[in-house]
Structure 1
Amino acid sequence: MKVTYQTCCGVDVHKSFLVATIVKTTGGIEPSYQKKRFSTFNNSILEFKQWLLDNECHDVCMESTGKYWVPVFNLLEDEINVVIANPKWVKAVKGNKDDTKDSKWIGDLFRLGLVKGSYIPCKKVRILREYTRYRYKLVSCRSSEKNRYQNALTVCNVALDSVVSDIFGKSSTSIIDYLLEQSGTSINHEEIASKLLRSLKSKEDAVIESVEGYQMTDAQKYRMRLVRAHMDYITAEINDVDKMIENMISSNPDFENAVQFLCTIPGVKRDSAITIISEIGTDMSQFSSSKRLCCWAGLTPGSNESAGKKKSVRITRAGVYLKPA
């Protein structure tokens, strides 16, 4: 096979240390190997970087193990070409692997050009991605709390969600607050009716019937207050994250222009455009075609055929943050 990299390095990175193997191909068929172990502290990573430069090694391949590769990538990317590989492309044979052998195996595969590199955007895009993904997690957490709040109402024999369209609207919130303040299980129909707004006034009888005879203990009321307070806290966090994201977009002309361009697509709003930019960046030269981009985003079926039989070709889990956008 043709040698793609005359001098390269395979790295097996862990939480507290990394094992590196420099593979050099000179005149002979068999390459030469230099192995060394470093810790993942910054000073040690810089020593690793200098060791690579001293050996004229400017191409490094690492397995994307959790987030452990990120500190190494941050300190190497300015002077060294770092390829981050999906573990499935560099998986060693079971029963014959250890940290040293793994780094050698990665180096051998990389030397022959058999390792596909993962797309790693520039640092500005990576930071923006951290914020958009964090926002995604916050929204998911708030949705879970909303479901928990609705379940608490159902358990307490409150069927208000069967009458109103939004259980977290102004009228519904006022009615629930009234129920939480009550010491017993009796309700004042006139008080309930006074809290109804707009079109909900026409459903006065149904609203009263949905909360009549509710069963809510003090412990259940306290739990609902905790859930409500947590939802309010998460909402405030989301607003803070939104402000920071907006500042990052508006302060970067490339981001702002790309977002405005994406917003010209029917159905794509600003939030969705920002999410798309945070995931794929603004440099489309990383993808040779639109097909490659769709494949990277996990939107195209795979190819799995053996002995004339086609097996499951469903789309992958890739692009879990990009698909909802």
Structure 2
Amino acid sequence: MKVTYKTCCGVDVHKSFLVATIITTTGGIQPSYQKKRFSTFNNSILEFKHWLLENDCHDVCMESTGKYWVPVFNLLEDEINVTIANPKWVKAVKGNKDDTKDSKWIGDLFRLGLVKGRYIPCKKIRILREYTRYRYKLVSCRSSEKNRYQNALTVCNVALDSVVSDIFGKSSTSIIDYLLEQTDNSINHEEIASKLLRRLKSKEDAVIESIEGYQMTDPQKYRMRLVRAHMDYITAEINDVDREIEKLISSDPDYENAIQFLMTIPGVKRDSAITIISEIGIDMSQFCSSKRLCCWAGLVPGSNESGGKKKSVRITRAGVYLKPALVQCAHAAVKSEKSPYYKKKYESLMKRRGKKRAIVAIARMILTAIYQMLSTGEAWNPSDLYKIDMPEALLEKQKAKAIKQAMKLLQREGLYPPLEPIAS
């Protein structure tokens, strides 16, 4: 096999130490090996870096073991080309492996160009990504607390969620606060009616009926107050994270311009655009094509065929944070009446492939559009947009033209009688 890197290094990273093997190919295929072990403390990592430079090794490959590779990458990235490999592609055979053999195996694969590197964005994008992912976790945690709060109401025989559209709205919150303050399980109908706002006033009887006879003990009230306080705390944390995210974006005009650019796509709002930029960055040269980007995001069907039989071809599990954001944008895009491009596409796909596959297909279309926009700087303008957003008069004209051309074709083939000229 052809040697891609004459001098390279394979690294097996762990929490407290790393094992490195420098592989040097001088003459033939058979290389020479230098093995050494280092601690993962900063001084030791700098010694490892100095050892690499002494041996004229500027290409390093290591597997992405948890977060243990990050400190090593941070100290090496300025002077050394570091390739982060998926552990699935560099895993050694069981029964014949240890730390030293693993580093040698990674180096051998990398030397022959058999390891594909993961996409690692620049440091600014990595910091922004940390904030957006943390925000995603906070929002998920708040949703869990909301479900817990609503379940507590159900257990206490409060069916308010069957009447109101938002159990956490102003009217609902006032009513629940009133119930928590009561020493017994009785209610004053006039007090409840005074807490209803706007359209909910017309549902006064239904609201009172939904909470009449509720059963709420003091321990249950205390638990609900704890859940409410935790929800408020998480909301405050989300607001703080949002402010920090805006600071990071405002520090670089390119990020703000890219976000505003992506917001021209139907269904993509500011929060979604920030999440997308934090995951893929603004430099699309990292991906050789839009197909590669969609594959990296987990929006491409898998390939699993053996013996002429095709097995499951579901989309992969990649894009844990990017894929949900794109699917959310797709759901918003297919409901847009102002820009019905994706809506028409979705309706066409849904008839043949079902709702879920159609939504994933729309998400992939959006990501493909994002790739082209960030690569070329062109505004969102699909090549077949005119077929969907065409004015009614022009649409009728196009139909008449298509019918006329079809009739001429049938006449030439002798499948349709020629039209007789009208007598004057």
TM range (shorter): over 0.9
The whole-number CA distance in structure 2 between the counterparts of 1:130 and 1:178 is 40
Separation of aligned partners in 2, 1:146 and 1:207: 20
Secondary structure, counterpart of 2:322 in structure 1: coil
Counterpart Cα distance in 1 of 2:55 and 2:165: 68
What is the alpha-carbon distance in structure 1 between the residues aligned to residue 190 and residue 39 of structure 2? Answer: 71
The Cα offsets for residues 137-157 of structure 1, whole Å up to 9 and x where unpaired, read as 000000000000000000000
Residue 29 of structure 1 aligns to a residue whose secondary structure is coil
Contact 2:175 2:192 in 1 (8 A): yes
Give the structure with higher Rg (CA).
Answer: 2
Cα offset for 1:28? 3.1
Is it true that 1:192 corresponds to 2:157 in the alignment? Answer: no
| Whole-angstrom distance in 2 between the partners of 1:50 and 1:312 | 48
- Answer whether contact 2:64 2:84 (CA < 8 A) is retained: yes
CA distance in 2, matches of 1:320, 1:106: 26
**Gapped runs of 5+ residues in structure 2?**
324-423
User: What's the offset of the Cα at 1:299?
Assistant: 0.2
Q: Which residue does the alignment assign to 2:6? A: 6
Secondary structure at the counterpart of residue 36 of structure 1: strand
Matched residue of 2:21: which SS?
A: strand
Of residues 24-33 and 11-20 in structure 1, the stretch that sits farther from structure 2 once superposed is: 24-33
Could you tell me whether the CA contact under 8 Å between 2:3 and 2:29 is conserved in 1?
Answer: no
Superposition deviation, residue 189 in structure 1:
0.5
Instruction: Report how many aligned residue pairs link the two structures.
Output: 324
8 Å Cα contact 2:174/2:195 also seen in 1: yes
Superposed CA RMSD in Å reads: 3.7
Give SS of 1:20's match.
Answer: strand
CA deviation after TM superposition for structure 1 residue 266, in Å: 1.3
Deviations 1:238-279 (A, max 9, x none): 000000101111111111111111111111111111000000
The question of 1:37 aligning with 2:37 is answered yes
How far is the alpha carbon of 1:93 from its aligned partner? 0.2
CA displacement 1:23-62 (0-9 Å, x = unmatched): 1101133110000000000000000000000000000000
Once the two structures are superposed, residues 137-193 of structure 1 have per-residue CA deviations (whole angstroms, 9 ceiling, x without a partner) of 000000000000000000000000000000000000000000000000010011001
* Equivalent position SS for 1:95: coil
In the TM superposition, what is the alpha-carbon distance from 1:317 to its structure 2 partner?
Answer: 1.2
Give a deviation string over 1:203-223, Cα, whole Å, max 9, x none.
001100000000000000000
SS at match of 1:116: coil
Q: Distance in 2 between matches of 1:98 and 1:77?
A: 27
Relative to its length, the structure with more helix (as a share) is: 2
Shift, 1:302, TM fit: 1.2
Q: What TM-score, normalized by structure 1, do the two folds share?
A: 0.99
Distance 1:197 1:25 in 2: 78
List, as ranges, runs of 4+ consecutive aligned residues in structure 1 with deviation greater than 4 Å: none
User: More relative contact order in 1 or in 2 (CA 8 Å, sep 6+)?
Assistant: 1
CA distance in 2, matches of 1:88, 1:321: 20
Cα deviation digits, residues 46-102 of structure 1 (max 9, x gap):
000000000000000000000000000000000000000000110100000000000
Instruction: Tell me the residue number matched to 1:150.
Output: 150
Alignment of 1:38-77 (within 5 A): 38-77=38-77
Aligned to 1:115: 115
SS at match of 1:117: coil
Whole-angstrom distance in 1 between the partners of 2:2 and 2:15: 34
CA distance in 2, matches of 1:217, 1:154: 13
What residue ranges of structure 1 are gaps of 5+ in the alignment? none
Structure 1 residue 312: deviation in Å? 1.1
Determine the C-alpha separation between the residues in 2 that align with 1:74 and 1:109: 23
- Secondary structure of the corresponding residue to residue 92 of structure 2: coil
In structure 2, distance between residues paired with 1:29 and 1:191 = 87
| Secondary structure in 2 matching 1:257 | helix
CA distance in 2, matches of 1:146, 1:102: 46
Match of 2:165 in 1: 165
Partner of 2:282: 282
Larger deviation: 67-76 or 307-316? 307-316
- SS of equivalent residue, structure 1 residue 152: helix
Q: Which moves more between the two structures, 310-319 or 41-50?
A: 310-319
Question: How much does 1:304 deviate?
Answer: 1.2
Cα separation, 1, equivalents of 2:82 and 2:213: 66
Report the Cα offset of residue 225 of structure 1.
0.1
Shift of 1:112: 0.3
How many angstroms apart in 2 are the aligned matches of 1:198 and 1:117?
A: 57
SS for the counterpart of 2:8 is strand
CA contact (8 A) 2:58 2:81 kept: yes
What is the rounded CA distance, in whole Å, between the counterparts of 1:12 and 1:202 in structure 2?
Answer: 68
How many angstroms apart in 2 are the aligned matches of 1:112 and 1:9? 12
8 Å contact from structure 2 (residues 249, 256) kept in 1: yes
